[in-house]
């Protein structure tokens, strides 16, 4: 799945052309996913932007055109690219692209089929739309941050996985692909307003359902999936490492009880909240009897729903991750592999290097070459 930035594109999106405006966080990650799936993503960046670090995995697979968007000539070059593109991705505050003369209405006059992806934290409208913020703020306001952490302790930010990447990048990609299907069928592009705050609320749908049914408590460490349940949490081992267990199904919980040799009096306590403290203490004492390696040898691969808690370095060495090709080497840099996997049109991680910087005319020449006489407007086909 490795290739150079100039290799022929493979993947299910190999006929897709995307113009990305340089930014941070969820927009670039979304474009990495699209590039991995074969899309030809060209990034527009400032002339004074730092060269791309080859260790920046999220930046892989793109060529970069450096343009000063304060110059009318540069805006015209961007417009010429957008005329040939299928989609645009930008992550500025609402109104910035309009002030540059690159807003949705202006672009639609040059390419009515173009799908205009807008990635923000708060969205294009609302009282906070013009406010600065980051992942932690969006998941805080949406209600997700309040659910993460130990009982009686402060909330803990779950990296930027829930907001930037879960509620942001993945919803942007989903929206773009849906709008592109619509554009292919109708010839009409549209704006995709992807707000992290909106996406996180959507991710919380299952939690909201549990609340409405009276199955969820609005306190940390008190529910099945937040570490409150003794059968769905982590435990320290004899060597100070940690295991994870999650046998939600009663038959899997019974198997874990057998492996841990828990007292018979606690084997029917899985869903008895009154006995959760006693069950947790018994499971903690059991796991402290052996090292992580010993527990892995005994439980891994069984139906007790077990996995060791590994670091990223350790994950690279795990037999399952290796068998699945979860990491790969590109130009001496260890990259995470593309996901998901496709049976007919496999994704590919395209390398990123200083050589990936090109002129707008070079991109346009290549894009025109891909336009055949029988299909003078291939951007209408994904």
Q: Are 27 and 97 in contact (CB under 8 A)?
A: no
- Strands of the sheet with 115-120, listed across from one edge: 62-66, 40-45, 17-21, 87-90, 115-120, 191-195
pLDDT at residue 353 in the model: 57
Once rounded to an integer, what is the mean pLDDT over residues 179-199? 98
Please identify which of the residues 45, 164, 198, 226 carries the catalytic annotation: 164
Helix axes 72-84, 360-369, angle to 10 degrees: 20
CATH topology for 233-313? formyl-coa transferase, domain 3 (3.30.1540)
Helix (H, G, I), strand (E, B) or coil at 66: strand
pLDDT of residue 325 exceeding 70: yes
Question: Residues 282, 256: contact at Cβ < 8 Å?
Answer: no
CA distance 299 to 282: 17
Active site residue 164: yes
What kind of fold does domain 2-203+323-380 have according to CATH?
Rossmann fold (3.40.50)
> Tens digits of per-residue pLDDT, 209-267?
999 999 999 999 999 999 999 999 999 999 999 999 999 999 999 999 999 999 999 99
1-27 pLDDT, tens digit per residue, is 444 444 567 899 999 999 999 999 999
Spatial separation of the C-alpha atoms in residues 200 and 183, rounded to whole Å = 27
d(CA 149, CA 308): 20
Give the pLDDT confidence of 334-359 residue by residue, as tens digits.
999 999 999 999 999 987 755 578 99
pTM to 2 decimals? 0.93
CATH 3.40.50.10540 domain locations along the chain: 2-203+323-380
CA 188-190-194 angle, 5° bins: 155
Of 320, 337, 319, 341, the C-alpha closest to 328 is 337
Q: Is the pLDDT of residue 61 over 50?
A: yes
Residues of the chain within CATH 3.30.1540.10 domain(s) are: 233-313
* Pairwise CA distance, residues 380 & 371, whole Å: 11
Cα separation of 367 and 132, whole Å?
Answer: 36
Could you give the residue ranges of the DSSP H alpha helices within 37-88? 72-84
**Per-residue confidence (pLDDT) for residue 354, from 0 to 100:** 52
- 357 phi and psi angles, rounded to 5 deg: -80, 130
């Amino acid at each position: 799945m490795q290739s150079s930035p100039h290799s022929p594109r493979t993947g299910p999106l190999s006929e897709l052309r995307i113009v990305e405006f340089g930014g941070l966080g969820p927009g670039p990650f979304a474009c990495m996913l699209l590039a991995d799936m074969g899309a030809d993503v060209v990034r527009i960046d400032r002339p004074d932007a730092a060269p791309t670090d080859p260790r920046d995995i999220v930046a892989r697979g793109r060529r970069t055109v450096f343009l000063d968007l304060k110059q009318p000539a540069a805006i015209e070059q961007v417009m010429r690219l957008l005329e040939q593109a299928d989609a645009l991705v930008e992550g500025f505050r609402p109104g910035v692209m309009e002030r540059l003369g690159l807003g949705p209405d202006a672009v639609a006059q040059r390419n009515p089929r173009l799908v205009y992806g807008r990635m923000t934290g708060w969205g294009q409208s609302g009282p906070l739309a013009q406010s600065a913020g980051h992942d932690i703020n969006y998941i805080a306001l949406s209600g997700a941050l309040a659910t993460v952490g130990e009982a009686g302790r402060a909330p803990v930010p779950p990296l930027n996985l829930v907001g930037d990447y879960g509620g942001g990048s993945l919803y942007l990609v989903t929206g773009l692909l849906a709008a592109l299907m619509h554009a292919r069928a109708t010839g009409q592009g549209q704006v995709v307003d992807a707000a992290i705050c909106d996406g996180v609320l959507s991710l919380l749908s299952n939690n909201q359902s549990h609340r409405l049914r009276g199955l969820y408590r609005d306190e940390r460490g008190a529910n099945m999936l937040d570490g409150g349940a003794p059968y769905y949490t982590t435990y320290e081992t004899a060597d100070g490492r940690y295991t994870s267990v999650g046998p939600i199904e009663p038959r899997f919980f019974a198997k874990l009880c057998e492996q841990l040799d828990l007292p018979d009096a606690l084997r029917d306590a899985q869903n008895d909240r009154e006995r959760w403290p006693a069950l947790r203490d018994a499971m903690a004492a059991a796991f402290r009897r052996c090292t992580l390696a010993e527990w892995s040898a005994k439980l891994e691969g069984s139906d007790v729903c077990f996995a060791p808690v590994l670091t990223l370095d350790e994950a690279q060495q795990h037999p399952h991750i290796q068998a699945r090709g979860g990491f790969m080497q590109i130009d001496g840099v260890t990259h995470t592999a593309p996901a998901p996997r496709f049976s007919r049109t496999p994704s590919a991680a395209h390398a990123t290097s200083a050589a990936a910087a090109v002129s707008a005319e070079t991109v346009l020449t290549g894009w025109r070459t891909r336009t055949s006489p029988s299909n003078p407007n291939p951007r209408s086909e994904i």
